[in-house]
Amino acid sequence: MGFPEAEARLFGGVWICMNCNARNRSVKGKPEKCRRCGSKRLRPKAKEPRK
Ligand SMILES: [Zn+2]
């Protein structure tokens, strides 16, 4: 079971910094802070999948 992209989707994967709009990838859960600017204001890029 080695599909990083699929796993990333399951866990949300990408978080967008609301301060600088940088993309922060996270294996699971919310990153502590933005990698670029250090802001803690992050929002998940991946929304709920349609079914
Ligand atoms: Zn940032």
What is the full DSSP assignment across 24-42?
EE-SSS--SS-TTT----E
Q: Is 44 helix (H, G, I), strand (E, B) or coil?
A: strand
Report the separation in Å between the CA atom of 51 and the middle of ligand 1, taken as the mean of its atom positions: 32
What is residue 45's predicted lDDT score, i.e. its pLDDT?
A: 87
Distance (angstroms) between ligand 1 centre and the Cα of 3 equals 27
Three-state SS at 5: helix
Nearest Cα to 10, choosing from 50, 49, 37, 51?
49
Distance, CA 9 to ligand 1 centroid (Å)?
21
Encode the chain (51 residues) as per-residue pLDDT tens digits.
566 666 555 555 899 999 999 999 988 888 999 999 999 999 988 666 666
pTM of the model: 0.66
